[in-house]
Structure 1
Amino acid sequence: MSKPAMLKTAAVVVVILACLVAWALLHASAEPLLSREQVSEQVQLLYEGKVVSARLQQSIYKIELRSQLGLYELDVDGRDGGIQAIRRIEAYDPVEAGSNDQHGAEPSAPEQPPVSEEQPGLSGSEAAKLALQQVQGTVEEVEYKQQGSTRYYLVEIDTDAGEAVVQVHAITGAIMSITWDDAEEDDVE
């Protein structure tokens, strides 16, 4: 076989191998996408509120979620359902939004995506207003906390019955827990 023929054969083999590798890479990363319904259900399990729209852009779902604090847009990975970003589009006054709600709201899911600079959450005063909807009294202190990827406020409220600590989720405003310190225990010292 002549040298030019061997070079042509080698070039053809290299091109075929490159095409096979490219095809394999494209098909290996093409995991099936979750359905719009699956993504919407997953978002509603994580956050209180109602999904009002869901649209697919490439492999990311753009989900609009309406909660008592506002309208949020979430970017959700269509392959694994992971929350990529959260943005508040509209803010509602938590006092007005919650005025028809009954006390004893369900706690939100324990694991929430982390807040980043582009993911605005509640301010301390908004958390205090929400806490006062659950426990009537005087706000003594509002403290921001983070445990793992969950961020929340602890709002201490002085009441006639003792001191209550209301845990408010920093993104959704969901009441996560209410604990009471009895006034009698403090007086025993």
Structure 2
Amino acid sequence: MANRFKVLISIGLLTLLIILGWQWVHQSLSAEPLSESDVREKIQTQYNGEITDVTSMEDHYLATIALDEGVYEVVVIKTDGRISEIRPLESFKDNDSPSPPEDKSESAQTEPITEEKAKAVALNEIEGEVDDIDFESEEDSAFYLVEVERSGGAEATVQVHALTGEIMSVTWDD
């Protein structure tokens, strides 16, 4: 009699666990992807600029946003709304228009910022722990690549301009 009661309780608990597991899997698989208007709202609240285009791809959106500094392409993941990458398309600082006089003066920044400053800039943008910092130099640009690891395991690479200390891009690793 006692064995029969234990078997019935075990079967009941197993059935309950199966039902709860099925509901959890069903709920996570049936999550609705973000709509274009949700993406526009998310980008608009995070970056104060004019969104000129939003294109829906298979698993992400590509949005083009015009800011004071230039035009950028923002990649937003459909399922969770996370911004996975920001790429500069056009920089307004490179225009043929004359630069303000203070940019041409001797007081303009000509020495790169320190690794510590690049680290602080990256951690101000992405909360986490710095995993690695690399200094990179290309034809007309020098920058730091700062890898930041978040507590949940997500990792981002923050590209920090070596002269201005401005964030050039943020790329999330999957």
**TM-score range normalised by the length of the shorter chain:** 0.3 to 0.5
Per the normalisation by structure 1, the TM-score is: 0.42
Per the normalisation by structure 2, the TM-score is: 0.45
Based on CA coordinates, which of the two structures has the bigger radius of gyration? 1
